[in-house]
Amino acid sequence: MFVCWGNICRSPIAERVAEQRASAVGLSDVRFSSAATSTEELGRPMDPRAAAVLRQYGYRDGDHVAHQITAEEIDGADLVIAMEPLHIERMRRLGDVDSALDEGRMALLTEFDPDAQPGSGVPDPWYGGPEGFEDTLAAVEAAIPGVLDRIRELQQQSVS
């Protein structure tokens, strides 16, 4: 599960990229989703600029309805990936998510990009122009190979 502030830009972009990249490498038994830490955008579709950048770079934008993450979703997810440290802090307010952190099931997206600054986040493109959405897509694309490697590890652990 990918998590950002409103679930209309960064997390749905990450969800779509992960879906397509996982399918391309044969990880078909994985389900990706996304959610918000705030209530500001609940029920809204993906930001049109996010959908446009996905289409421009060959990803499907698809149907999307923003929703807020719940403690139950965190508990049930194999991996919860936040776009910024703030999102992890906001998820902590939902309940006891420290076990997800302790178990390595919660992380920042940038932790999966070997070239990213440790502890950094994916900047929110909502306040700017189209180039911000391209930057977000590039940050997501840089991290997704690491995310897929982690998913493979989790799958191997569950088989063992």
Q: Give the pLDDT confidence score for residue 83 in this predicted structure.
A: 98
Q: What is the pLDDT of residues 82-92, one digit of tens each?
A: 999 999 999 98
Q: Contact at 8 Å (CB) between 47 and 10?
A: no
Its domain, for residue 66, covers: 2-159
Instruction: Return d(Cα 33, Cα 80) in angstroms, integer.
Output: 10
Domain tally, the chain: 1
CATH number at residue 152: 3.40.50.2300
pTM of the model: 0.95
Give the strand order in the sheet containing 80-82: 34-36, 2-4, 80-82, 106-108
Give residue 13's pLDDT band: very low, low, confident or very high (50, 70, 90). very high
Q: What is the pLDDT of residues 103-137, one digit of tens each?
A: 788 999 999 999 999 999 999 999 999 999 999 99
Catalogue the active-site residues: 4, 10, 124
